[in-house]
Structure 1
């Protein structure tokens, strides 16, 4: 046995130094959340230590029907826009991997365009283009869902493309064709089940982007469809403690959604291995 093999960690175990490093990084990343949480539990923090412990901010927040409505609206925006984007991209990527590979460069260029579009530019462009047309596209809600679909497009595209490249989707389709399976059926029944984990990972990034957006929701829908960021902005001038409580709840909701998606990803990976 070579010296290199002997020096390798047994069983792939993480060293103590690596664990300590990860713990320090984790504490550093959680520090802003911890400070915000502490601030939300006190009346003021003008000295070294906060003073006036209270749960008033959370009681007021949880009894506010507008707050729960804004959370629900944000979840709906996230779910609908991500599902629409995934469905459209999966159909488009079928043309790339099963019909013409050269379309991949065109697809990549189109999907990267939203990177260059700032929220203000995108919202103003959508409003100017569709307002007053008298069609369903002039509906503010339809415009908002479309805007978020465009916003998360490059992030979900990258995840789906990487997942397809990792499993060599074109080869899988060709192998399925040799066994008498049609291209589209092979794409649906063979390729898609193998990229579920990649789709879920890209959805996580899209989820955080939708939850953190203020510009699109404020410019396109305003108070007509108030998401959680618009609600936060409306309450920032009222109370800093209440605003901190809102931030804490946003963090917990995003964390819960992330944990759910990671659980689904873990289940998908087990299914792929089986």
Structure 2
């Protein structure tokens, strides 16, 4: 590698870092100016002490956990069966799991409202539990491309056919194979998909707002229209949560590579 190539590479890297972190630094610096003349964390203290913040953030965390559970139950058996018994269907399944990337969330939520309103055969929007269920399903659809890719990548790293045959030879049923053989071997991949799902749910706005649910995304938008410094503090907090999820994904990936490395 020539000297000019290295210089160009480092220059591009430094430019990218500056382009990304300088606005973030400005955002963080402004969020510290809630008290005139000095830097303080007053905006963060007000946000964290706000009962609505606590309520909406807790609600979004619970919905994220429910979404992750639904995603695992839906994706792991599907990806396992496609890889073991239906490899010819893999392109079609991948196409279906990519659809949420091209269909806007607003289309999904209006479809829910149209199909499950109080005058339909299944009036889920007429109750809090039903609306929460719709929201969880909507989040599952939005996270499906990431969860499926993560699980499918994890299944590629193990010999699914051999593990399944060995478990069947010992008398294990399909539920036992999935729960005690396949799932433990793809836990790092499942966790990667789970962290991405968590980040998506925490920051999602459209579904929660149109279904009128007390989620963190609508709260972030609402406080941004009425406060000066608190929205910037919330943005930094949301950014930290997202980056925390990405760091956890990297740690899980490294642990997976370390575990797979021969002794």
TM-score (norm: length of structure 2): 0.79
2:93 aligned partner: 107
Partner residue in 2 for 1:3: none
CA distance in 2 between counterparts of 1:24 and 1:170 reads 47
Name the residue aligned to 1:75: 61
- In structure 1, distance between residues paired with 2:22 and 2:210: 32
Instruction: Output the CA distance in 2 between the equivalents of 1:69 and 1:20.
Output: 45
Taking a change above 3 Å as real, the CA distance of residues 90 and 199 of structure 1, as seen in their structure-2 partners, is same
Structure 2 gaps of 5+ residues are: none
Q: State the shift of 1:149 in Å.
A: 0.9
Q: Which residue in 2 is equivalent to 1:227?
A: 215
Cα distance in structure 1, aligned partners of 2:19 and 2:44: 25
The number of aligned residues is: 252
Q: Give the aligned partner of residue 4 of structure 1.
A: none
Indicate conservation of the 8 Å contact 1:197/1:269, yes or no: no
Structure 1 gaps of 5+ residues are 1-6, 8-14, 45-49
Tell me the C-alpha RMSD between the 2 structures: 3.3
Q: State the partner residue of 1:137.
A: 124
2:96 and 2:192 mapped to 1: Cα distance? 21
Q: Specify whether residues 152 and 164 from structure 1 end up closer, same or farther in structure 2 by C-alpha distance, changes over 3 A only.
A: same
Q: In structure 2, what is the equivalent of residue 53 of structure 1? A: 39
CA distance in 2, matches of 1:243, 1:136: 36
1:102 is displaced (CA, Å) by 2.7
Larger-Rg structure? 1
Cα distance change, pair 69–260 in 1 and its aligned pair in 2 (3 A): farther
1:42 aligns with 2:33: yes
Indicate the SS of the match to 1:53.
coil
Q: Which segments of structure 1 move beyond 6 Å, counting only runs of 4 or more?
A: 15-21
CA deviation map 1:6-46 (0-9, x unaligned): x9xxxxxxx999889767644543333221110101159xx
Task: Between 246-255 and 66-75, report the one with greater CA deviation.
Answer: 246-255
Secondary structure of 2:211's aligned partner: helix
Match of 1:207 in 2: 198
Match of 2:81 in 1: 95
Is 1:237 aligned to 2:225, yes or no? yes
TM-score by length of 1: 0.76
CA contact (8 A) 1:214 1:230 kept: yes
